[in-house]
Amino acid sequence: MKSMIRYLIIASLMLGWLGLAIAQPQTGSNVPAPGSGSGVAPATGTAQAVPTGTANAPATSPTGTAAPSTNTGGQAWYDILANKPIEEQGNFWLPRAVNKAADDSDLMYLSVLALSYFFFFAITICVVWFCWKYRHRPGHKAEPSAAHNDALEITWTVIPTIIVVFLFWYGWRSYIHVVTPPNKAVEIQVLAQRWNWTFTHANGVTDSDLHVPSGTPVRLVMTSTDVLHSFYAPAMRVKQDVVPRRYTYVWFEATKPGTYRLTCAEYCGTWHAQMACQKTDPHTNACLRRAVVVVHAPGDYERYLADKQAESDNLPPAELGKKLYEKKGCNACHTVDGTPRVGPTFLHDFGTKVPLSDGSTITMDENYITESLMTPQAKARPGYPPSMPSFQGQLKPKEITGLIEYIKSLK
Ligand code: CUA
């Protein structure tokens, strides 16, 4: 009996330590923030500061806090949000959940973790202590093992059974909730490709950052053009494989506006760790910013859709091309500073004669660029792996023109 009490005391001390670790605050910023030095989200141009009262007038923001719909310093307000440092909060174990359905799974995770800790320490301490207490020593007679003890055996069968059945029931209920999106969910198409994401919204707007409304369920319909990828947004507690020639789904309801991490969680080739890199350090090749999930304040998602559409309608071709170069993931393989990467650089390329794998040469012109976008392997260049994906059906004619004009501008 005394031993029982002693190990219970030790176990509760361990649990107390665990509780402290859980409560320990941690800033979730893991991505270096280009542009703004402070780790805390600055209030620059933050459309998220718009009070909910303006939700009915999404196109105009009379309050001074919201950035205007037009570009500010070359950056649209929604890109400023996307470029903000990651502002996940949380503790040692997890970033704070911003998905409504995540409360259940977090509770589940922590309960199972705490239970495991409890039994791990309780059993280990008993084993070590009994070994010491009943060890063979002079003057100590070995005690015969008990054949059985009904009270003990019933206790250690019934209590764990209740715990396990409860965990199963709770887990099953949460699982059904997590895989069943509500009917009124906003649907966003997701296309994964080596090495970027393309998010297509209901009005045709595409982006490589995922912009979503808050307080509204969002359902992602995902597929891949090449290999397995995995959509992973830790703060939303969603991780789902994205599979070629098949659709997979996740849904979440973001509870707090902000900028959150988004990563590919399935190894998909050379640039997997940098998938959807939006900005690379020209010297070290390190990724300075990857694609993110931007959760908008009420009303701002609609404003984003309208403004984003206007932007792609109004940009000069070369500027549109530059945007696409970053947004479509061209920058993962092609540099614009002269260094070859997975593919050839774009610098000083246009108008020159380039060698082909079959030994011939071709002039790098509008036709060659277009053909390389649609059927990349048709006239491949030697010394590079055949990993360029086809952009057939993914680029509008004016976007192709934009990319050509951008490459032209680099000559
Ligand atoms: Cu895409 Cu890893």
Structure letter (DSSP) for residue 333: T
Q: Which residue has the tokens 């500061």?
A: 49
Give me the chain's average pLDDT, please.
Answer: 79
Structure letter (DSSP) for residue 39: S
**Are 268 and 345 contained in the same domain?**
no
Q: Is residue 49 included in any domain, yes or no?
A: no
Q: How confident is the model at residue 56 (pLDDT cuts 50, 70, 90)?
A: very low
Final residue of a domain: which of 309, 327, 354? 309
Q: Is residue 77 included in any domain, yes or no?
A: no
Residue 264 Cβ contacting ligand 1 at under 6 Å: yes
CA distance 230 to 238: 10
Residue 130 Cβ contacting ligand 1 at under 6 Å: no
**Are 6 and 129 contained in the same domain?**
yes
- Which contiguous run of DSSP H or E holds residue 169? helix 150-179
Atom of ligand 1 nearest to the CA of 227: 1
- Most confident range, picked from 81-95, 105-119, 324-338, 389-403: 105-119
CA torsion through residues 364, 369, 370, 376, sign: positive
CA distance 340 to 352: 16
> Can you give the residue range of the structural domain that contains 207?
186-309
**Are 200 and 302 contained in the same domain?**
yes
**Are 213 and 284 contained in the same domain?**
yes
Q: Is residue 157 included in any domain, yes or no?
A: yes
Burial (0-12, 13-18, 19+ Cβ within 10 Å), 64: exposed
Single pTM value for the model:
0.63
**Are 329 and 380 contained in the same domain?**
yes
Atom of ligand 1 nearest to the CA of 266: 2
**Are 196 and 272 contained in the same domain?**
yes
**Are 170 and 225 contained in the same domain?**
no
Q: For 120-143, what is each residue's pLDDT tens digit?
A: 999 999 999 988 888 888 888 777
Final residue of a domain: which of 286, 309, 332? 309
Name the residue at shortest CA distance from atom 1 of ligand 1. Answer: 229
CB 91 within 8 A of CB 32: no
Q: How confident is the model at residue 106 (pLDDT cuts 50, 70, 90)?
A: confident
User: What Rg, from alpha-carbon coordinates, does the chain have?
Assistant: 28
In the sheet with 263-264, reading across from the earlier edge strand, the strands are: 238-242, 229-233, 263-264
State the CATH number of the domain containing residue 363.
1.10.760.10
Q: How confident is the model at residue 240 (pLDDT cuts 50, 70, 90)?
A: very high
Residue 272 Cβ contacting ligand 1 at under 6 Å: yes
Final residue of a domain: which of 257, 281, 309? 309
- Determine what percent of the chain is predicted with pLDDT higher than 90: 26
**Are 297 and 325 contained in the same domain?**
no
Distance 268 CA to ligand 1 centre (A): 4
Q: Is residue 40 included in any domain, yes or no?
A: no
Q: For 291-348, what is each residue's pLDDT tens digit?
A: 999 999 988 999 998 888 887 777 778 888 887 887 777 877 888 887 777 888 888 7
User: Bigger pLDDT: 409 or 272?
Assistant: 272
Q: For 261-273, what is each residue's pLDDT tens digit?
A: 999 999 998 889 8
**Are 339 and 266 contained in the same domain?**
no
**Are 229 and 288 contained in the same domain?**
yes
Structural tokens at position 318: 């070369």
Distance 273 CA to ligand 1 centre (A): 7
Atom of ligand 1 nearest to the CA of 275: 1
Atom of ligand 1 nearest to the CA of 267: 2
Amino acid at 95: P
Residue 229 Cβ contacting ligand 1 at under 6 Å: yes
Atom of ligand 1 nearest to the CA of 228: 1
Residue 222's pLDDT is 94
Q: Is residue 368 included in any domain, yes or no?
A: yes
CA distance 93 to 107: 12
Atom of ligand 1 nearest to the CA of 229: 1
Burial (0-12, 13-18, 19+ Cβ within 10 Å), 53: exposed
Q: Is residue 56 included in any domain, yes or no?
A: no
Q: Is residue 26 included in any domain, yes or no?
A: no
Residue 324 Cβ contacting ligand 1 at under 6 Å: no
Structural tokens at position 231: 């959509």
**Are 173 and 196 contained in the same domain?**
no
Q: Which residue has the tokens 């806090």?
A: 65
Residue 293 Cβ contacting ligand 1 at under 6 Å: no
CB 391 within 8 A of CB 373: yes
CA distance 48 to 409: 36
Q: How confident is the model at residue 41 (pLDDT cuts 50, 70, 90)?
A: very low
Residue 267 Cβ contacting ligand 1 at under 6 Å: yes
Q: Is residue 25 included in any domain, yes or no?
A: no
Residue 16's pLDDT is 56
The full DSSP string for 245-274 is TS-EEEEEEB-S-EEEE-EE-S--STTGGG
Count: domains in the chain: 3
